[in-house]
A and B are shown apart, each in its own frame.
Chain A
Amino acid sequence: MATTRREPQRVRRARRRAAYHADRARKATTPAQRYRVAEDALVSAVAHAPQPAGTARTVHGEVAEHARKVLERLELGSASAALAEHHLSRSGTERQRLAAALMCLRGLIARLPDTERDRLYEHYARHLDEEAHRISTQRGDW
């Protein structure tokens, strides 16, 4: 009785990860939920990238820039703006900083008017998802 030949563990892990996030994306009903799924997928993809720290630093810079743009539009009080800025420039590992920046961006978008908020959530969900896909495929996982 021959044993079954298996795929490499790296491929199985990547497939399981993609299936998990695709399943969550399918279940997400609101734009905020879709953003949340894309955020988690991006953090996961960065964590499993060939150079996690370097990738996280690049993506963090980009996300922080977008969060500052949203912050400019919001015209928040000085305390709220300082808190957001603290989240964007907090210390920690690169992955923690990226997760904090994504969380901060989500919180800032939530303060926008409803229509604008949903539009931005959809916009970032789509592009963060694309970014996550690009990062997870750059090594040729599939």
Chain B
Amino acid sequence: MPIPDPWADPDSTRAPAHEHAHAHAREAVPQPTESADTAGEVVPFPGITTSQDTDSDSTGQMAPTEQVPLAKRSGWNSAAAVWAVEARETAAAAMDGSVWRARPPSLRDLHARVQRAEWAGDIPALRAVGQWFGYLSLAITAIGYALLWIARRPFRLVLTVLITVLVVVLAI
């Protein structure tokens, strides 16, 4: 489509009425509709999509800990409730194929979980112990992820083995 000459006869170059619809066609990119699928939506693992979000005032689908104000519950009760919910989620994830399908959580997410310590039920001792274990677990997970990263490509694996052998030979 040739670009019209700006100095040509203005009557002949004036765009017909139907062309105004194309003038800013780049802005008329079809946006995904509300009711469409959630493809392309960024959802933090293992989060829920917006279509599954509940209203801020509805607690029907939330964990049992949310149904009664936390202040009225003892710390141990709320901690136990959180543990029960997480155990149920873990069991469901083990059964529905998430282990095969879903990506492992990032180290940042694991760190956030340790820092929030939602499973501690606001008991300082439980929080301290849990976070201590959480950081230990985070370090182990980081080492494991590094091993997985190396094992995922043959060249990485070969190079790592070579370097390890070299270090061992030089050290002896």
Contacts and interface: CB of A to CB of B under 8 A. Distances in A.
The winner among B6, B22, B29, B93 for most chain A CB atoms within 10 A is: B6
Nearest to B4: A127
21 contacts: A2-B96, A3-B101, A3-B102, A4-B38, A4-B41, A4-B43, A4-B49, A5-B39, A7-B39, A7-B40, A12-B40, A18-B26, A21-B26, A22-B29, A26-B27, A41-B26, A119-B6, A128-B3, A130-B1, A130-B23, A131-B3
A15 interface: yes
B interface secondary structure, majority: loop
A124 B3 contact: yes
Interface string B9-31: 00000000000001111110110
Contacts of B34: none
A134 B1 contact: yes
A12 B27 CA distance: 16
B114 to A, nearest CB: 20
Nearest to B101: A3
A interface secondary structure, majority: helix
B1 A131 contact: yes
A139 interface: no
Interface residues of A, number: 35
B33 to A, nearest CB: 14
Interface residues on B, range: 20 to 34
B46 A62 contact: no
A2 B2 CA distance: 49
Contacts of A130: 1, 22-23, 25
B6 A133 contact: no
B37 interface: yes
Interface in A1-49: 1-7, 12, 15, 18-19, 21-22, 25-26, 41
A129 interface: yes
Nearest to A141: B29
Interface of B: 1-7, 22-27, 29-30, 37-41, 43, 46, 49, 92-93, 96, 98, 101-103
Interface in A109-142: 119-120, 123-124, 126-134, 142
Contacts of A128: 3
Given A6-B40, A22-B29, A1 B102 contact: yes
Nearest to B22: A130
A90 interface: no
B3 A2 contact: no
Contact of A25 (B27, B43, B98): B27
A109 to B, nearest CB: 9
A62 B40 CA distance: 37
